[in-house]
A = this chain, B = another copy of it.
């Protein structure tokens, strides 16, 4: 690999001059810069990022915390889309993305924070993790620039998918189509789930509806069997709902694919998913759902993170809510 000293030798300039020329120092005249850059290109020179990191304490590398848990790993389209968008934005701004881990390095186990410091990471994006894990909290409170998705830590910027708006949009859609008895099967208790339940209940309240508590069912995200199990008793209620909101699109599609013509005729049930995964648009009937704007979430997260890194003085922690949009679809039917 060509290094600065090679360029120095070739051009006759000193290392210092070459370095300055390469980094656009104002003290170097255009002509010198041109010569240096030309030779640099000829030699295929690329700066050694680790040498640079050592000297400058800047790695242009961001850590991504992405722990597969509660079935919400890389395979969850919501998260993988966020990551995809984050990757694109980071690349655009000249940063790399490295997965965080707590591997043993030379025999010494390390925490996320130690890993981050060891690699000289300039900042951290926490996409999916157990936010109550002490190791994650430590990372968030370390003073390192951290941006979180769908969870707020004191002092950190958080990008939140607008779950209240999501539930409200779905509710309004169902209400407008004549539904008054609406059930909601939510996922396991997480921060996001709480927001969704609150959004759901608020929307009901706004319309003066008081829904029986039996209309709330608990299940797990991305585990349709648990959702179907929770749905069962609700449909058996003396006064069953006419519409049900599922915790995610996977459950909703599962439900759709399990419904027989027979069942539909006996018990016509409207329903909606949540997330807006690609498949919901392709199937007939199109799934009614709320499309989370994962692309914008990932993009904004990286944007805010890098802005803080590059100009810390301007930094003030904020909570950014990102709205998605309703996909009307055909599974909430007029009533």
Contacts and interface: CB of A to CB of B under 8 A. Distances in A.
A224 interface: yes
A224 B81 CA distance: 20
Interface stretch (A83-91, A303-311, A317-325): A83-91
Given A46-B118, A225-B282, A253-B257, A96 B99 contact: yes
Nearest to A258: B284
A214 interface: no
A80 B74 contact: yes
A260 B259 CA distance: 11
A235 interface: no
A13 interface: no
A260 B66 CA distance: 40
Contacts of A117: 1, 46
A287 B118 CA distance: 47
A212 interface: no
Given A73-B84, A74-B81, A97-B98, A118 B254 contact: no
B68 A75 contact: no
B75 A278 contact: yes
A54 interface: yes
Nearest to A102: B91
B50 A119 contact: yes
B258 A257 contact: no
A98 B283 contact: no
B91 A103 contact: yes
Contacts of A108: 40-41, 45-46
Nearest to A224: B282
A120 B46 contact: no
Question: Chain A, interface size: which category?
Answer: 35 or more
Nearest to A254: B282
B106 A48 contact: no
A117 B47 CA distance: 9
Contacts of A31: none
A158 to B, nearest CB: 22
A46 B1 contact: no
B254 A257 contact: no
Contacts of A66: 87
Contacts of A282: 224-225, 250, 254, 257
A261 B258 contact: no
Interface string A29-63: 00000000000110011111111011000011100
Given A44-B114, A49-B119, A224-B282, 7 more contacts: A24-B107, A47-B118, A48-B54, A74-B81, A96-B101, A253-B257, A257-B257
Interface of A: 1, 22-24, 40-41, 44-51, 53-54, 59-61, 66, 68, 73-75, 77, 80-81, 83-84, 87, 90-92, 94-99, 101, 103-108, 110, 114-115, 117-120, 222, 224-225, 250, 253-254, 256-258, 260-261, 278-279, 282-285
5 contacts: A46-B105, A48-B54, A75-B80, A98-B98, A254-B283
